[in-house]
């Protein structure tokens, strides 16, 4: 039976129960059935199981199937201690009727012809199929296989203890065992999973792989981490993790007084658990340990408590590499993520620096999700292992320089060659060449005053728009111009609060949220207008032209700087502090006016030509409609 035939049978089985059970319970039902079929197919296991509870015997007749399968599961737990409590969490639900169960079993009976060694692969395919089908609703317990293989190659696992504190279905542990065995090595497997059903499925996954020496416990890694016999944190040679991202309410109050050494660099933020997982991993590596974690970009730049932890790890030279992956790779989220490599014993040539890799272009677009193909995995591993630097996507940065930059590890800020989508397509920009050029430059704060927009309520929460002050929102700026005629009014209880947020003629405004950068200049206005919190304002000082600043910001160099300053994953955010440090070319005011006027003139001519071309196109189409004889049916044109 080939792979396609196996997948078709899995789909047919799911179709039998679809609409009757939620997808999660369909998965559990199929998992139970395949486990019992595997036990009977495996001569060594079948010999230990009482014959009357082997699969062929309990399904010989169609009556009381549910009760017999559940009883066989209890017997399997008693026979194989590795499965203790597994069928407490994964079982045939009481809502399943015998008729549907019988139909499902008839579909799955075709698997009885496959070799015993094929069951592990079949079970794994079923889990991946479920993760992909459920996506954001249920795919958080499984990582796409190419990413799992990538982590193994980055760590180059040999002998030792391997741990996954967010084990899910134990795919990292299983891949680690395979990776080590292919190279003549052996590893001991450890893990922990907080979700009982996923833990049980993961145990069945290990069972079918023959990895019954693995020790994977049900529990909360952050609040109840694995400990050794001396009640100290258990140490590992390797740790691989893909923890839940930005987990809130993770239990800060329960760990503030911990004495296990998890939080050597400080107690993490209450807002999310990302740095809590990193702290646990760093504390659980032995003196030569290495780890690879998949995390959101926020761990690279967040301030506060998380920033202090990151700074401490950087100072201690614990971070070996940061690898930025493409967006939309995972089942559970579309955000881009990073791989953080920790190493307690860096090679001599890598000490006191961190390798930064931008692998965001290493993917193949797929149906609904981007894919890491073998060539992309090989490219990333090659960059990591060789450390061969280039200006575009691979370079070392000294710890000294990173600490000078507030311990900010945002990947984009360390590459001088960027690709930006300018007015005329995709452009490569080398910021290093600009910075080394003879063009005189100053920081933005030296040539302009800047201020943030005012925090305003969302339009849906405003009860009346008749009174108040007009506010410039994101929707009001289109194609580099502000539509002053459509501004909504916002009520303001205390007018004195708006003084620092009022715009005036000549102010350059730039959006600070979102993936699309909007830039415009305030024309002549005759009333007080507030700038919303979605914008920063730039008010040129004497000797600087608004048109010139706007033209520079919209240039490939300006956009490249702005994009490198943005932070965030799902929503890009441009901080005012970062914007103030933007290098700006400083020419004479006469030169600035010439450049600004020329750019503005070209924009006006472009819009004029577009309007004319649109009218010509419209007229030609109308002539064609007339000749077709359909124009009479067109009642109104808008």
Q: Dump pLDDT digits (tens) for 333-343.
A: 888 999 999 99
Per-residue model confidence (pLDDT) at position 462: 57
The verdict on 266 and 335 lying in the same domain is yes
User: What range does the domain containing 25 cover?
Assistant: 3-116
Of the chain, the percentage scoring pLDDT greater than 70 comes to: 96
Within 489-588, residue ranges assigned H as helices are 546-553, 556-565, 576-580
Please state the rounded mean pLDDT for residues 500-506: 94
More confident residue, 332 or 185: 185
Residues forming a β-bridge with 510: 519, 536
Of 388, 415, 442, which residue sits at a domain end?
415
Dihedral class, residue 286 (left if φ above 0, else alpha if ψ from -120 to 50, else beta): beta
Structural domain total, the chain: 4
**Contacts for 283 with CB less than 8 Å, ≥ 6 apart:** 233, 260, 261, 262, 263, 264
The verdict on 365 and 478 lying in the same domain is no
The verdict on 67 and 209 lying in the same domain is no
pLDDT band at 208 (very low <50, low <70, confident <90, very high): very high
Q: Examine the pLDDT at 68 and tell me if it is beyond 60.
A: yes
In a domain, 121, yes or no: no
pLDDT band at 424 (very low <50, low <70, confident <90, very high): confident
pLDDT band at 192 (very low <50, low <70, confident <90, very high): very high
CB 177 within 8 A of CB 205: no
In a domain, 400, yes or no: yes
CA distances from 600 to 114, 245, 547, 607 (A): 72, 45, 7, 11
The verdict on 485 and 581 lying in the same domain is yes
The C-alpha atoms of residue 185 and residue 179 are separated, in whole angstroms, by 8
CATH of the domain at 573: 3.90.220.20
Q: Examine the pLDDT at 488 and tell me if it is beyond 60.
A: yes
Q: What's the token pair of residue 117?
A: 């060694």
Each residue's pLDDT tens digit, 553-603:
999 999 999 988 888 766 788 999 999 999 999 999 999 999 999 999 999
Per-residue model confidence (pLDDT) at position 376: 97
CATH of the domain at 315: 3.40.50.150
Per-residue model confidence (pLDDT) at position 587: 95
CA angle at residue 341 from 336 to 345, to 5 degrees?
A: 175
In a domain, 425, yes or no: no
CA angle at residue 150 from 144 to 154, to 5 degrees?
A: 150
The C-alpha atoms of residue 353 and residue 397 are separated, in whole angstroms, by 5
CA angle at residue 197 from 192 to 203, to 5 degrees?
A: 55
Q: What's the token pair of residue 589?
A: 């005011």
The C-alpha atoms of residue 127 and residue 134 are separated, in whole angstroms, by 11
The verdict on 499 and 627 lying in the same domain is no
In a domain, 192, yes or no: yes
Least confident of 19-33, 340-354, 509-523: 19-33
Please state the rounded mean pLDDT for residues 456-460: 69
The verdict on 236 and 274 lying in the same domain is yes
CB 169 within 8 A of CB 206: no
Of 116, 143, 174, which residue sits at a domain end?
116
In a domain, 124, yes or no: no
Q: Examine the pLDDT at 394 and tell me if it is beyond 90.
A: yes
The verdict on 356 and 491 lying in the same domain is no
Of 415, 448, 471, which residue sits at a domain end?
415
Within 358-481, residue ranges assigned H as helices are 374-386, 399-404, 431-436, 444-447
The verdict on 526 and 612 lying in the same domain is no
The verdict on 346 and 230 lying in the same domain is yes
* Number of Cα atoms under 13 Å in the Cβ half of residue 121: 13
CA distances from 91 to 60, 99, 348 (A): 20, 17, 52
Supply the DSSP string of 226-237, one letter for each residue. Answer: -B-TTSSBPPEE
In a domain, 507, yes or no: yes
Each residue's pLDDT tens digit, 255-304:
766 767 888 999 898 889 999 999 999 999 999 999 999 999 999 999 99
The verdict on 186 and 320 lying in the same domain is yes
Per-residue model confidence (pLDDT) at position 544: 96
Highest mean pLDDT among 411-415, 528-532, 566-570: 528-532
The verdict on 177 and 214 lying in the same domain is yes
The verdict on 182 and 290 lying in the same domain is yes
In a domain, 427, yes or no: no
Within 393-466, residue ranges assigned H as helices are 399-404, 431-436, 444-447
Rg of the chain on CA atoms, in Å: 30
In a domain, 127, yes or no: no
């Amino acid at each position: 039976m080939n792979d396609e035939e196996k997948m078709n049978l899995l789909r047919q089985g799911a179709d039998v129960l679809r609409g009757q059970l939620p997808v999660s319970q369909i998965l559990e039902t199929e998992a139970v059935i395949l486990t019992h079929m595997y036990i009977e197919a495996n001569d060594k296991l079948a010999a230990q199981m009482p014959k009357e509870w082997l699969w062929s015997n309990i399904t010989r007749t169609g009556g009381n199937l549910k009760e017999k399968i559940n009883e066989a599961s209890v017997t399997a737990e008693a026979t194989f201690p590795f499965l203790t409590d597994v069928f407490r969490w994964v079982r045939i639900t009481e809502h399943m009727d015998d008729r549907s169960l019988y139909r499902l079993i008839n579909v799955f009976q075709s698997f009885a012809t496959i070799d015993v060694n094929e069951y592990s692969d079949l079970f794994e395919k079923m889990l991946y199929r479920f993760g992909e089908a459920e996506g954001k609703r249920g795919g958080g317990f499984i990582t796409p296989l190419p990413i799992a293989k990538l982590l193994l190659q980055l760590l180059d696992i040999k002998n030792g203890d391997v741990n996954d504190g967010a084990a899910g279905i134990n795919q990292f542990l299983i891949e680690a065992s395979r990776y080590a065995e292919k190279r003549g090595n052996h590893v001991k497997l450890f893990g922990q999973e907080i979700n009982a059903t996923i833990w049980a499925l993961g145990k069945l996954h290990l069972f079918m792989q023959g990895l019954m020496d693995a020790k994977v416990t049900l529990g909360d890694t952050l609040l109840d981490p694995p400990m050794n016999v001396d009640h100290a944190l258990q140490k590992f040679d390797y740790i691989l993790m893909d923890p839940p991202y930005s987990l809130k309410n993770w239990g800060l109050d329960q760990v503030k007084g911990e004495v296990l050494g998890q939080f050597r660099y400080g107690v993490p933020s209450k807002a999310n658990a990302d740095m809590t997982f990193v702290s646990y991993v760093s504390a659980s590596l032995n003196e030569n340990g290495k780890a690879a974690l998949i995390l959101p970009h926020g761990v690279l730049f967040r301030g506060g408590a998380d920033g202090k932890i990151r700074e401490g790890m950087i100072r201690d030279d614990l971070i070996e590499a940061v690898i930025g992956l493409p967006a939309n790779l995972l089942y559970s989220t579309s955000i881009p993520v990073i791989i953080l490599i920790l190493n307690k014993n860096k090679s001599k040539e890598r000490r006191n620096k961190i390798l930064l890799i931008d692998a965001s272009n290493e993917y193949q677009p797929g149906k609904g999700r981007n894919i890491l193909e073998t060539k992309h995995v090989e490219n990333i591993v090659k960059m990591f292992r060789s450390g061969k630097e280039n200006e575009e996507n691979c370079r070392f940065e000294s710890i000294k320089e990173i600490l000078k930059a507030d311990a900010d590890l945002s990947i984009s800020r360390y590459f001088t060659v960027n690709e930006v989508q300018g007015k005329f397509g995709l452009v490569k920009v080398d910021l290093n060449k600009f910075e080394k050029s003879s063009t005189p430059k100053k920081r933005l704060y030296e040539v302009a005053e800047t201020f943030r927009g005012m925090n305003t309520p969302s339009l849906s929460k405003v009860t009346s728009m008749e009174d108040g002050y007009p506010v410039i929102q994101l929707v009001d700026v289109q194609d580099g111009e502000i539509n002053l005629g459509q501004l909504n009014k916002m009520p303001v209880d205390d007018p004195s609060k708006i003084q620092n947020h009022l715009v005036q003629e000549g102010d350059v405004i730039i959006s600070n949220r979102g993936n699309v950068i909007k830039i415009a200049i305030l024309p002549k206005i005759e009333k007080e207008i507030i700038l919303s919190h979605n914008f920063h304002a730039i008010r040129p000082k004497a000797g600087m032209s608004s048109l010139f600043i706007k033209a520079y910001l919209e240039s490939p160099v300006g956009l490249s700087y702005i994009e490198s300053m943005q932070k965030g994953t799902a929503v890009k955010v441009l901080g005012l502090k970062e914007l103030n440090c933007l290098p700006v070319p400083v020419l004479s005011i006469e030169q600035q006016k010439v450049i600004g006027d020329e750019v503005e003139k070209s924009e006006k001519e472009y819009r004029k030509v577009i309007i004319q071309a649109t009218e010509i196109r419209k007229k030609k189409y109308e002539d064609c409609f007339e000749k077709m004889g359909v124009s009479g049916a067109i009642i109104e044109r808008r």
